[in-house]
Amino acid sequence: MVTNDAKQKVVFLGPEDDPLTYERAELEGLDVEIIQINPDSEGEAIEAVKDADVVLARGYAMQDPVLREMEQGAGVIVYSHGFDHMDVDSATEHGIMVANGAGMCAEEVSDQACALILDVARQITFSDRYMTEGNWTDGAMLARRTPIDEATLGIVGFGNIGKAVNRKMSGWRMRTVVYDPWVSPWVAKEHNVEQVHDLLELARQVDYVTVHVPHNKQTDKLFGEAEFKAMKSTAFFINTCRGKVQDEEALIKALQSGEIAGAGLDVFATEPTPADNPLRTMSNVVTTPHAAGGSTRSATLSRIRAGQNAASMLRGEWSMAGVNAGVRDIISPRRVATFSGYSS
């Protein structure tokens, strides 16, 4: 159980020579001991974290064997926005709070999503490839281009990133339709978007659909065969969140058969995606290597957020970036701050 009556222990799982400049700045004023270790084995990780108050997991995927050895009421900080590489269910079961880097790359990921929408809409990468091969114009390629300002954009997941995409694409005068079971009608109204309560209904309407949800049991293969079949043959699928949110086999089939016009992908079911993945070489697909969240700013902000989350937990508060609200039913009563819920 995290307490405030003794020197608290923060364990950083990552490079031992990392200066942790931003994290230390956020923890200034707290009576903490920071231990850095880059574990070579599960056993070494268990030994390091078993009595930790907070664990900063930078690139280390914490699983059940490690989490179950931690003290109830401790916390784990994930540096990234996504947290599907960690066993959150196990953390909740064993009373471990988990927080992510919510918001640390919302602008960057939304930029990438918007860029991919514009790319496939104007056939920019496709045209570049065609010219690189020594060609000039392609009538079929030109015929696939449609005015963006007459198009319907579908946003699946209306959290930080989904809202940022809407804000940026609103300048293109697109009609925007949103699917997110957690969003109330007044939020949709505030952001001037239409809300639907069925994913297939959204799929039928859109010319472009961009997905912004975390990967979990509920969203695994969220966009599958039925959704692709429901889309227009002229529509494009954009994914910059997590590859397992899409049924990759169904997506490949939809692209090969012409059920949809194309896709813009930053993420894949397996990463790095194999060299023989058809998505790498399809003429109607634009790909990037899971790099949407990267920038000089997001790299720094992820560290600042990690330090802020750790400081909140060490003060006995609920992190505003908590991802497992159910842990509150397990941890003994404690002084807490307002829990803000989930961000996607």
- Number of Cβ within a 10 Å radius of residue 342: 16
269/112 Cα distance (integer angstroms): 19
Which residue in the list 58, 94, 191, 242 is annotated as catalytic?
Answer: 242
Q: Is 212 considered catalytic here?
A: no
Which residue in the list 81, 212, 215, 290 is annotated as catalytic?
Answer: 290
Q: Token pair for residue 266?
A: 């930053």
162/344 Cα distance (integer angstroms): 8
Q: Is 33 considered catalytic here?
A: no
Which residue in the list 145, 271, 297, 315 is annotated as catalytic?
Answer: 271
96/326 Cα distance (integer angstroms): 10
CB 176 within 8 A of CB 166: yes
Q: Is 305 considered catalytic here?
A: no
Active site residues: 242, 271, 290
